[in-house]
């Protein structure tokens, strides 16, 4: 899976990274490389949490996975 991420250096010198396609999925690091490692971990966590939230729900909505 490939996702677009946005990285920028904040006023305190940290690199802040967010994933626009995954609301609330963001991280940071002291270096760009550290921020990249951290956002990958955050993405895995975000997807895991969302998968767990949708398991066993009885709604008219359906959830399914697609490869892109």
DSSP 31: S
Structure tokens given for 44: 């895995």
Domain ranges, ordered by start, for the chain: 6-51
pLDDT at 62 over 70: no
Q: Which residue's structure tokens are 């709604």?
A: 59
Are 25 and 42 in contact, with CB atoms under 8 Å apart? yes
Give the pLDDT confidence of 1-57 residue by residue, as tens digits.
Answer: 899 999 999 999 999 999 999 999 999 999 999 999 999 999 999 999 988 887 766
Q: How far, in Å, CA of 32 to CA of 39, rounded?
A: 10
Q: What is the CATH number of domain 6-51?
A: 3.30.160.250
- Nearest in space to 29 (alpha carbons), one of 9, 50, 57, 6: 9
> Length of the chain in residues, anyone?
68
């Amino acid at each position: 899976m490939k996702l677009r991420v946005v990285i920028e250096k904040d006023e305190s010198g940290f690199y802040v990274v967010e994933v626009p396609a995954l609301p609330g999925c963001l991280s940071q690091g002291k270096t760009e490389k550290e921020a990249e490692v951290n956002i990958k971990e955050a993405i895995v966590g975000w997807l895991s949490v969302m998968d767990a939230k949708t398991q066993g729900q009885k709604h008219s909505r359906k959830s399914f996975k697609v490869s892109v």
